[in-house]
Structure 1
């Protein structure tokens, strides 16, 4: 069974389309959202509740604790194993998510550069010493392309890029995957909306998350070690609530920063995905998206 990947920016309705496709194709869903890997991070990641999954098996959800650093390499290995097991059962894998590196690592079989704990620790210490903005400036000086492509707030990726540059003597981009025929001949469906409409959807999504108890979720996860989780604590919504709590607030002032951060992330997702010529784009406002997606699969 040929896999299908439903990708695109946050808030475009990927989960709903993936469910419809899985029902029509007799498929199972494989998550490709890095933050939905975490147990307990439900509201802020818009993780679909079990009761709304229509009895369809879901994979790569709730597989790590918030204290664990999410790893693209680990995800690539485990998600690939899930996909091949699904195909061996005669079902169709439906990959869904918006985490750019996770999707590309899976579909383009990214070969990851080696890592060195001592080099990594040194750059992490440098991050703690000078802060994320200053370290981003250092990266930009040694690798302008990496500096331009990595957000100046993404300390983990900045550290990784500096580690790779030091170990390989080459720009970070030299280790990036090459876009070719997608693994398993996966059909890639992209979902997007008009920018103004999507911004409104993101605003409503943010308000709903806070109304549904995002602050309480973050507070509960603090007891589970959220603050020590380098990846989890920086997730959109969670990072903003933590910052507001640390400033003496009750978390409610994190609404606007969460929306602004999400909108900024969406622009980055759109730029990344639009570079991939293999994506078949659908307008999220169109009627019967599943029918249009199946028509693409039949070509």
Structure 2
């Protein structure tokens, strides 16, 4: 059976370099499960790897879509499964790398066949922009308290998806999620890169400084016409929009990005802990972590 080797970890944990090293050793390719690196227009704020960082290893789902056509977890699952069953079927192993837990789980575990509606998505994105996330959370709490109690309430993508389904069907999102999941034609082997908290936070702070130096403010200006899209209602973009709107000065903006990115990293780690079969790798050099993974997957 084909192996899907998953490299997970919070933002700034070193996932890309590990995935590339592992792919080189296994002569395979990498699928990215970063919910914002799909988009051609977003690079600096998503920490998208530069071409030289990929070291010639084929990567799928980086710069694969335009921001004007948002990618849902269900769409990612569908497109990735089509690749795995077709173009990538000859590979004994595939690497899946990312920090977007919902997208990783969509491919590794599967999603219920939940309906979707583009018109409702547009309405909800406009409401998010005009009214803010709190108003949508209030609606979710009223119509589906079970899902409201479970969901990451700082994740607008998940809030919008739940409300889309509820408005479309009149059925609580939590009810839809209880259906039987599909079987997978591959074995999933999951690894999480785990840094000591203070080390991870320092890596995050350095990355944010590098983003600012690399031109994050200008990138945000260039995509301002899409600011009501979910991908831009996220850490690193929404804070810069607030800065450009005059809500705070640049120094405060940078500190807010660092703070919110650290908070996001904590939520990522909480998500990864949901899967008891995952191997947690103490952060070492890329080569040491690669060798540790190879010992496990080649048994």
- The TM-score by the shorter chain falls in which range? 0.7 to 0.9
1:109–1:177 contact (8 Å) kept in structure 2:
no
For residue 145 of structure 1, report the CA deviation from its aligned partner: 3.5
Distance 2:119 2:96 in 1: 35
Distance in 1 of aligned mates of 2:154 and 2:219: 23
Alignment partners' CA distance in 1, 2:24 and 2:178: 34
Instruction: Provide the residue aligned with 1:264 in structure 2.
Output: 263
The unaligned stretches of length 5 or more in structure 2 are none
Indicate the residue corresponding to 1:280 in structure 2.
279
Post-superposition offset of 1:25: 0.5
1:131-142 to 2 correspondences below 5 Å:
131-142=132-143
Aligned length: 296
Provide the C-alpha distance between the structure 2 equivalents of 1:128 and 1:15, rounded to a whole number of angstroms: 32
The alignment status of 1:221 with 2:218, answered yes or no, reads no
Superposition map of 1:126-275 within 5 A = 127=128, 130-165=131-166, 167=169, 169-172=171-174, 174-175=176-177, 183-222=185-224, 225-228=225-228, 230-247=229-246, 251=250, 253-275=252-274
SS at match of 2:193: strand
Q: CA deviation at 1:248?
A: 6.8
Residues 109-136 of structure 1 deviation map (CA, whole Å, 9 limit, x = unaligned): 2123113466656656765675321321
Decide whether aligned partners of structure 1 residues 153 and 187 sit closer, same or farther in structure 2, where only a CA change above 3 A counts: closer
2:293 is matched with which residue? Answer: 293
Residue 16 of structure 1 aligns to a residue whose secondary structure is helix
Deviation at 1:157, TM superposition (A): 2.7
CA distance in 2: counterparts of 1:85 and 1:43, whole angstroms: 32
Residue 152 of structure 1 and its aligned partner are, at CA, apart by: 3.8
- In 2 relative to 1, CA 49–176 (structure 1 residues): closer, same or farther, beyond 3 Å? farther
Shift of 1:49: 0.8
Distance in 1, matches of 2:180 and 2:235, equals 28
RMSD: 2.8
How far off its partner does 1:150 sit?
A: 3.2
Q: 1:11 to 1:162 in 2, by over 3 A?
A: same
Contact 1:215 1:241 in 2 (8 A): yes
CA contact (8 A) 1:43 1:213 kept: yes
| In structure 1, C-alpha distance between the alignment counterparts of 2:197 and 2:157, rounded to whole Å | 29
- Normalising by structure 1, what TM-score? 0.87
CA apart distance, 1:160: 2.4
| SS of aligned partner of 2:29 | strand
CA offsets, 1:230-289, max 9 Å, x none? 122213212211121112767554211111111111111111110111211111136700
